[in-house]
Structure 1
Amino acid sequence: MTGPLPAPGLSALLYGSTPPGVYDLPPTDTPARVLALAADADWRAAPLRLDGVTDKAAFLDRCAADLDFPDWFGRNWDALADCLMDLSWWREGSKVRGSLLIAVDWDAFRKAAPEAARTAQAIFDEAVDYWADSESPLTVLLA
């Protein structure tokens, strides 16, 4: 389940005192600032730009493009879960402290495609839980 990022905020998340999760991006932060802070903290981060995305197919297409999913991505919910639970395609060749996905314009997508957004968020929750106890957790920020 999503909720606000607990105080003290993003720095605590990136340096390990706040657990990984699916959180709302604090209104005082911007995706660009988050990406910069994540890079400084040795996190692999990427924006998922959802502007104009109004259905499942467009969401999955945007995931493939923005997150540079591997060729085997099947553009369905199971394939999304598979990609987020096997991040080897994203972490190739580098040791990172964590992975951060920023879903930009999430509210607009959620309003346009509520069922698809619920399913996507459930997959985000499962993937975050899967990676939570690893050396390199996954966090999703909904912006």
Structure 2
Amino acid sequence: MSGSGFNLGLDDASRAGVYEVAAGDLPVLAAAARDAGLLVRRLDLDGCRDKRALLLRIATVLDLPGGRGGNWDALMDALRDLEWLPAAGYVLLLDGTGPLRASLPREFDALAGVLQEASAWWAEAEVPFWAFMDGAAETTDEAP
């Protein structure tokens, strides 16, 4: 049993991906991910009014090296690298996605696609890379 009492199989890279969850589940997922030895980063997307602000918020939270993540391709490259954040696996918890989905649906879909692609890339290396988004989205799967 894990220290928090939660063992959700988050160390299984083959199950990792982008999932929608209730906002209240994010703290439980954070605890389970830490217990599984994964690096957890929480992204509060509330207030992101455009693509530039969204990418800057992600770059800041992930501590991307300078010049990385300025567009979708650069973000994808950075997410496939993460050498500055060595870990057995990664969990991104995305908060405040509702306003982003409503005001910037193309950017939201692009972000979900980049995260899914990063997860698939890491799965080939048998490293779990999860993204959990609060709320509903057509571009995500159901939670594990």
Query: Is the TM value for this pair above 0.5?
Result: yes
Secondary structure of 1:14's match?
coil
Query: Where does residue 117 of structure 1 map in the other structure?
Result: 108
Letter in 2 for 1:20: A
- Return the TM-score normalized by structure 1: 0.80
Query: Where does residue 6 of structure 1 map in the other structure?
Result: none
Query: Where does residue 10 of structure 2 map in the other structure?
Result: 14
Structure with bigger RCO (C-alpha 8 Å, 6+ apart): 2
Aligned length: 129
Secondary structure of 1:80's match?
helix
Query: Where does residue 141 of structure 1 map in the other structure?
Result: 132
Secondary structure of 1:37's match?
helix
Out of 118, 121, 130, the position equivalent to 1:130 is 121
CA gap 1:26/1:88 in 2 versus in 1, 3 angstroms? same
- Return the TM-score normalized by structure 2: 0.79
Query: Where does residue 4 of structure 1 map in the other structure?
Result: none
Work out the percentage of aligned pairs sharing the same amino acid.
33
Out of 99, 105, 110, the position equivalent to 1:108 is 99
Shift of 1:85: 1.0
Q: Tell me, which stretches of 5 or more residues in structure 2 are unaligned? A: 1-5, 135-144
Out of 75, 83, 89, the position equivalent to 2:84 is 89
- Runs of 4 or more consecutive aligned structure 1 residues displaced over 4 Å after TM superposition: none
Aligned pairs for 1:21-40 within 5 A: 21-26=17-22, 28-29=24-25, 31-40=26-35
Secondary structure of 1:89's match?
coil
CA gap 1:41/1:114 in 2 versus in 1, 3 angstroms? same
Q: How far apart are the structure 2 equivalents of 1:101 and 1:17?
A: 14
CA gap 1:89/1:17 in 2 versus in 1, 3 angstroms? closer
CA gap 1:27/1:126 in 2 versus in 1, 3 angstroms? same
Pairwise CA RMSD: 2.0
Query: Where does residue 53 of structure 2 map in the other structure?
Result: 58
